A and B are shown apart, each in its own frame.
Chain A
Amino acid sequence: MRNHQLLVLSAIIALAGLGLFYYKAAILGLPLEPRERTSVWTVEARVQFQSRDKAARVALRIPESPPNFEVIDESFVSSGFGLTSEGVDGKRAALWAKRRASGKQTLYYRAVVHPGSVSAPPPPPNFPQPPEEPDEAFAAAAEALREEVRRQSADIPTFASMLLARLADPTPDEFARPVLERDMERVPLAIHLLAGARIPAREIRGLQLRDRAREIPLDSWLAVHDETDWVFFDPTTGVIGLPSDFLVWSWGDGPLLDVEGGRRARVDFSVLRNRHGSVEVARARAAVLGSPLPWLSFLELPIATQAVYQVLVLLPIGSLLVVLLRNVVGLATFGTFMPILIALAFRETQLLWGVVLFSATVALGLLARRFLERLKLLLVPRMAAVLTIVVLILGLTSLLGYGAGMERALSTALFPIVILTMVIERMSVVWEEVGARAALQQAVGSLVVAVIAYAVFSNRLVQHLSFVFPELLLVALALMLLLGRYSGYRLSELYRFRALGTTAEESA
């Protein structure tokens, strides 16, 4: 009966965990595998200006359905500013306003974007009327250039591309030279020349996404409508097509930033590649789906706390491992969860150095403990002394290692000193009471469990799944409950009772 209840309870717990896991993985699309390189980016625009002690109004152009990207999250940080965002014809802007602002003001706009979505581009403009040329000479030069380019091109994109290439040529030919003499910026000049051929073109501005890029400038690009679609050109080369990691920030001319009631206004951009990119995507999807479940993820926590949980979620997995190795395999260890803590320490030190350090420290500690034994100290002071000696041994290792240029030796700082002390104490008691064999057996057992736990802990998939899907720990819990009633043999008992087992075979 009790077994029956336990079975039902474990099944409920496991199903709850698996159900939530399924929901998050299959419906919200949280990634099942750790991906080193995600292509979700956080782009931040920072506006700074000096206020003039009166009402301030800031307009910052912000992206609106940039080609090749999807904006999955946006946020505005503006203390004391009222905010509206409006978008007209690809000229979406964030508008901040404040009755009274004084001193230096800083405003942030932050967008989380990821590539791949098809977004609706601004509608095609009307065919432009041929622009008014400043003078006859320019009009003739422009027409000559257009004629020359038209002869060599097949359609609108090739025409625009050839035109831009000629304008960008560092040694311009006789057709381009007279046009360039007019000292216009290249992109407006190109738009002007294209308009002369009744080809609609707009300037776009955007940025190249690079991880950890700070204070990067916006690049100007050219968008040309070829009667069906917008085609993009690099004005410095004439090459067709946006690079995949180029985020279009704003369309059309007009200032990027407009500040009324402030001076020395500037905007700069920084970019960060998101580590848990696909998680951001899933978060956005959860919002779209109107997910009724609370967002169960450690990724909502501050980074420092996340780091703690990245380690904490491994502990239940380690303890499940200990349950298996002790109750099913039957390994003897010092302390139930000591090997897990040792394994966590190995994460800092790396395996080989960790094992060496552990063995050496325990061996030296045992020697010290043996010496202290002769002094006949009381238990607690003696353990305190051993602890101090352990700290000294580790410190000495780091100093010597550092002197010898071994970086590894420095990673000992987090080695669980108290745990080591307990190991030394217990090992020496077992050594005296039961014998060296048992003591070494348990020490090796502990080390084996620690190494296995380390292997599990450093598996990227395990790290990823336990951190992104903490509900899987419920499955681990269910397994623990079930193993709690496991009354079968331990593997080691097959060896222990081999005398009994084999006699049965002989007699059979």
Chain B
Amino acid sequence: MMYKKKKVTLFIQCLVDTLYPEVAEAMVSVLEDLGLELDCPTEQTCCGQPAFNAGHQSEARSAAKKFIELFEDAEVIVSPSGSCVNMVKNHYPDLFSADSSMLERARAVAAKTFEFTEFLVDILKVENLDARFPAKVTYHDSCHLNHCLGIHLQPRKLLANIRELEFIEMKDSDKCCGFGGTFAVKYADISSAMLEEKVQNIVDSGATVVTGCDMSCLMNIQGMLSRTKAQVKVMHIAQLLSAK
């Protein structure tokens, strides 16, 4: 295993840090069980994605600068959130295209940042974590993870190896859940219509748990599942992988 001896630095999405700390704890327990040494810069806040997506590039740039300063000494950076990894990997370099020294630093950080399931499957070459989770589970492909990072098979491989887990593919699993950051608030009607379709597909699948690799989308989905009192639980993939 290539990174076995390297120290893994945790990049925790702000939503996970403040709303779903149990997700980060689950990821920590998976990584520790693999014998990895972990590190976490506790000064980290938001990577700047909401500002960037809303067009506020100078605000996003200051968030990016802080992130780069905090993480540039890391050996490898791992995050439980696809859209934040996409931000660092694909948009940080864009933000500094006019500043060659920052650009170089942004590229260096981007090159060593990985999404959690990508890190497990593609880098560590681990697909079976000896987890057990007896439930019917369906998976939502988050857009940035799937369309921008091409991470689609990795989570499915990991789920396939969880004992007693029955995997059910929902209809249009790769269709957007309608979150889109401020889009969900500014264009609430359109966003809600998209989410309704997603929630319907989840319920129709017959699964009792919906999982994914990005708490942003899962928070959005959970919001409507809760409002409509649907009997489906929302769990991050790390929580399933750490279950014994």
Q: Real complex partners, A and B?
A: no
